[in-house]
Structure 1
Amino acid sequence: MTDGVQTDGARRTGLIVALDTQSPAQARQWATQVGAAAGMLKLGMEFAYAAGFGAVAEVAAARPIFLDLKLHDIPNTVASAIKALSYLRPRMLTLHASGGQAMMEAARKACDEAFPQGARPVLLAVTVLTSMDDQGLAAIGVADGTAAQVGRLGRIAVRSGMDGLVCSAQELTLLRDALGETPVLVTPGIRPAGASKGDQKRVMTPAQARAAGADWIVVGRPITQAADPGAAAAAIAAELAG
C-alpha cells in the first residue's frame, strides 16, 4: 500500500500541516483555516497526550490524519498499540526504524489484522530525526554520520514491510537512489525561503523537497504561526504545484 501523490504516473508532492498544539479548539481552527491547501493534517504526541485520543478522533472524523506517535517499544507492545489505535483510522502512522526489524514486522502484521481491507494506514518508519546531525549521532554512538544511518535504517524498514519513510529532505536523493520510487517519502523540517529554522538542523524549502523526490512535506510553525495560516498554506501548496 502506498500513498504517494501521483497523477498520470507523475509524482506530485502534497502538503501535510502539523497541528502542534495542546488545544482541540486551536487544532480545529487551524484545520479550518488551512482548508483544502492541506492534503492531510498531522497530529502528534503533544496533541494526543494533552487533548486525549477522543480529540484525535474528532479531527480524524473530518479530515485525513497523519498520526505521528513514533511508536518504539518491544514488538508485542507496538503491535498491541497499533491494534488499540485502529479505531482512529489514520491515513498514515509512524514508528521508529531504530526499533528494529522484528518490531517493524510485528507492526505491519498488526496493521494487516486490525484494519479493514483498503483502510490500512501507510506505515512510515522514522529514520533520523531532523533535529539530529552528525555530531548528535556521534554522541549516541553512531559514528558514520547521518547519511549512512538513514540509508541503513531505510533499507531495514523496507525489508520489514514498511510502506515508506520519514526522512530529512537532504536524504531524499540518497533514499530514492537506494530504494527506488516505491517507498512513500515524507519530509519534515521544511521551511519556506526566509523562515526561521527553529530547532531543525537539516532543512529545505518546499520546492527543493519536491525536486528531490518527496511525496509529502510536513510544515508546522511557518503556517500555524503565520498572521494568516490559510494564506501561508495556500502559498506553500502553490509552490509545490509550480
Structure 2
Amino acid sequence: MKNIPFNERLIVAFDMESVEEALEAWANIRSDAVWVKIGFHLISDPDAETLIGAIKRDGGKILSDLKSIRTFPALEQNVRRMERLGVDALSIHYAREVLAMARTYAVASSVVTPILLTSMSREDIERDTGTAVDALVVDRARTAITEQNFTGVITSGQELKLIREELGYDFVAIVPGIRDDELAFRSADDQKRTVSLESAFTNGADYVLIGRPITSSDNPGNVVRAIQKRIEKILV
C-alpha cells in the first residue's frame, strides 16, 4: 500500500458553475480536505487564478480537469497555464495521440487519464465500442501507464481489481462514482458504474473522487471528516 496520508486519499470534485461558488465550497472544507478536482468550467473562468491561489495558500492540492480538451494547441496552452499556476496533477482526455502530446507538455505535474467515464453503463460502452469492457479498460490502462508513462488512471472501482491484477500497483488509481448508503445523492444522479467506498479501496484504489454527495450536503465539512474516518478504518 502506498504511503499516502488517510486525509489525502479523498479528492473533492468541484464541478460548480462559478468561481464564487467554488470559493465558498472550499471555505467549507479547507480545514479538513486536502485534494480538490477543479472542473474545466472553473478552469476556463477568468477568475480561475483566484480560486487556485486560494486553495494553494491554504495548503490544498489540485487536480485540474482538462479531459474535454481534444486539440493540441488548446491542450498545450492549458497544460502550461495550469503548471504556471501551480496545480499538482492534470486529468487528460484518453486518446493515444492526446496522451502522447500531453506527456510532452507536462513537466512538473502528475498526469492521469479517465479511461472510461463512470457515467456510462457497461452495456452502453460495449454497444458503442464493440469491445468488452474488461478488455477495453485493461488495454487503455496499459497504454496510459506503460506506453505513455502517465502517473495513473481514473477508473471505476468495478474494473479496478482486474486492472491491478493485470498491471500491478506501480501507478496511481483514482476511483470516482462512489455511492453507498452513507453517500447517497438525493438529486438526479448520472453515475452508472458505481462502487461503495469500501469496495473502491478493497479493489485497489489509492484515491477516491467524490463531488456532489459532499458539495451538495448541508454540512460539507462534516461529510469530508466522516469519509476520511471511514477511509482510515478501511485501510488500517
TM-score normalized by the length of structure 1? 0.84
Quick check: 2:7–2:34 contact (8 Å CA) kept in 1? no
The residue number in structure 2 matching 1:212 is 203
| CA distances 1:84-138 after superposition (whole Å, capped 9, x unpaired) | 33212211101122x11x43222112113xxxxxxx2210011000011222224
| Secondary structure, aligned partner of 1:124 | strand
2:131 aligns with one of 141, 144, 147: 144
| CA distances 1:134-170 after superposition (whole Å, capped 9, x unpaired) | 2222443x11232221111101111111110010111
Q: CA deviation at 1:203?
A: 0.8
5+ residue gaps, structure 1, are 113-119
The residue number in structure 1 matching 2:37 is 42
AA partner of residue 66 (structure 2): L
Q: How many residues align?
A: 227
| Secondary structure, aligned partner of 2:43 | helix
| Secondary structure, aligned partner of 2:67 | strand
| Residue 129 (1) aligns with residue 117 (2) | yes
| Secondary structure, aligned partner of 1:94 | strand
Bigger shift: residues 10-19 or 204-213: 10-19
Q: Structure 1 pair 37/145, CA: closer, same or farther in 2 (3 Å)?
A: farther
After superposition, where does 1:72-151 map in structure 2 within 5 Å?
72-75=69-72, 77-97=74-94, 99-100=95-96, 102-112=97-107, 120-140=108-128, 142-151=129-138
| Residue 200 (1) aligns with residue 191 (2) | yes
5+ residue gaps, structure 2, are none
| Secondary structure, aligned partner of 2:30 | helix
Identity rate of aligned residues, in percent? 26
Q: Structure 1 pair 13/39, CA: closer, same or farther in 2 (3 Å)?
A: closer
| RMSD, aligned α-carbons | 2.4
Q: Structure 1 pair 83/205, CA: closer, same or farther in 2 (3 Å)?
A: same
| Secondary structure, aligned partner of 2:181 | coil
Q: Structure 1 pair 60/37, CA: closer, same or farther in 2 (3 Å)?
A: closer
Quick check: 2:7–2:33 contact (8 Å CA) kept in 1? no
Bigger shift: residues 45-54 or 15-24: 45-54
| Residue 19 (1) aligns with residue 35 (2) | no
Q: Structure 1 pair 80/21, CA: closer, same or farther in 2 (3 Å)?
A: closer
Q: CA deviation at 1:60?
A: 4.2
Quick check: 1:5–1:13 contact (8 Å CA) kept in 2? no
Q: CA deviation at 1:13?
A: 7.0
